[in-house]
């Protein structure tokens, strides 16, 4: 193998890069080739000097950069309004979660709040309502969870609306039980 390839490998070793050949082959060549050995030693000295040399002084531009910045960053007002709207929506969702949990509690505690349904059915309804409340609360606490809750809550709302309207139209329920679905 010609010397330039060994010098390339020696340079790669100095830079911590792959040698492109076995390390033993490089070491063996450097041991028998005075020209490459001398080149590798000189390269090591230059590399060390370059790495240890002090950085040239640079002007401190901190004050000039800070002075060039606008007093208020563009879009700050829009971002503040967006955060306010997001907070308001999250608080509204917390209120819905609390109301939903309030609807669930009587059915879970006594099994009597399910419009004359059997106790087991009342407990299932209460568990379902509490699960919906927890989903709302989780989304309020971590809005990133809304993507995961959307199929569940969206399907629930999309199915509940038509069946509730059908039950109301057929006279199966009165106005009061329908009101609990508004939350």
DSSP code at position 54: P
State which H helix or E strand residue 158 sits in.
Answer: helix 146-170
Give the range of the structural domain holding residue 86, as residue numbers without chain letter: 76-182
Residue 134 within any structural domain of the chain: yes
pLDDT by residue (tens digit) across 82-104? 889 999 999 999 999 999 999 88
178 and 99, same structural domain? yes
Q: Is residue 112 part of a domain?
A: yes
Clarify whether residues 84 and 30 are in a common domain: no
Say whether pLDDT at 165 is over 80: yes
In a domain, 96, yes or no: yes
Q: Do residue 96 and residue 31 come from a single domain?
A: no
Indicate the pLDDT class of residue 31, thresholds 50, 70 and 90.
very high
- Please state, for a pLDDT cut of 90, what percent of the chain lies above it: 48
| 52, 67, 92 - which closes a domain | 52
Is 118 within a domain?
Answer: yes
Q: Do 94 and 157 belong together in one domain?
A: yes
Alpha-carbon distance 167 to 183, whole Å? 18
Q: State whether 48 and 80 are in the same domain.
A: no
Average pLDDT, the chain: 86
Whether residue 80 is found in the same domain as residue 41: no
Q: What's this model's pTM, rounded to 2 decimal places?
A: 0.49
| 35 and 122 share one domain | no
* Assigned domain for 121 exists: yes
Domain assignment present for 23: yes
| Contact between 78 and 45 (Cβ < 8 Å) | no
Using only the alpha carbons of the chain, give its radius of gyration: 37
Task: Count structural domains, the chain.
Answer: 2
For 99, counting Cβ atoms within 10 Å of its Cβ (0-12 exposed, 13-18 middle, 19+ buried), the class is middle
Q: Is residue 60 part of a domain?
A: no
169 and 106 in a single domain? The answer is yes
Q: Is 70 part of any domain?
A: no
Span of 2-11, 19-28, 122-131 with lowest mean pLDDT: 122-131
Close Cβ partners of 146 (under 8 Å, ≥ 6 residues apart): 139
Does residue 139 contact residue 157 with C-beta atoms inside 8 Å? Answer: no
Is there a single domain that holds both residue 38 and residue 82? no
Judgement on whether residues 39 and 80 belong to the same structural domain of the protein: no
Q: Are residues 93 and 153 in the same domain?
A: yes
* Nearby residues of 178 by Cβ (< 8 Å), 6 or more positions away: 164, 167, 168
Q: Of the candidates 48, 46, 53, 44, which has an alpha carbon nearest to the alpha carbon of residue 13? A: 44
Count of other CB atoms within 10 angstroms of residue 84:
10
pLDDT(172) > 90 = no
Q: What is the pLDDT of residue 29?
A: 93
Domain match, 91 and 167 both: yes
């Amino acid at each position: 193998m010609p010397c330039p390839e060994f010098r390339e490998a020696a340079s790669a070793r100095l830079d911590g890069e792959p040698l492109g050949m076995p390390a033993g082959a490089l070491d063996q060549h450097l041991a028998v080739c005075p020209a490459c050995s001398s080149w590798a030693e000189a390269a090591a000295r230059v590399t060390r000097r370059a790495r240890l040399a002090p950085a040239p002084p640079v002007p401190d531009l901190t004050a000039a950069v800070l002075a060039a910045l606008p007093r208020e960053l563009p879009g700050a007002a829009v971002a503040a309004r967006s955060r306010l709207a997001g907070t308001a929506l999250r608080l509204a969702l917390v209120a819905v979660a609390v109301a939903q949990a309030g609807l669930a509690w009587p059915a879970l505690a006594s099994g009597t709040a399910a419009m004359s349904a059997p106790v087991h059915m009342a407990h299932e309804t209460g568990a379902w309502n509490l699960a919906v409340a927890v989903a709302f609360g989780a989304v309020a606490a971590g809005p990133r969870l809304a993507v995961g809750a959307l199929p569940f809550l969206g399907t629930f709302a999309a199915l509940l609306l038509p069946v509730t309207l059908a039950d109301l139209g057929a006279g199966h329920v009165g106005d009061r039980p329908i009101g609990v679905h508004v939350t």
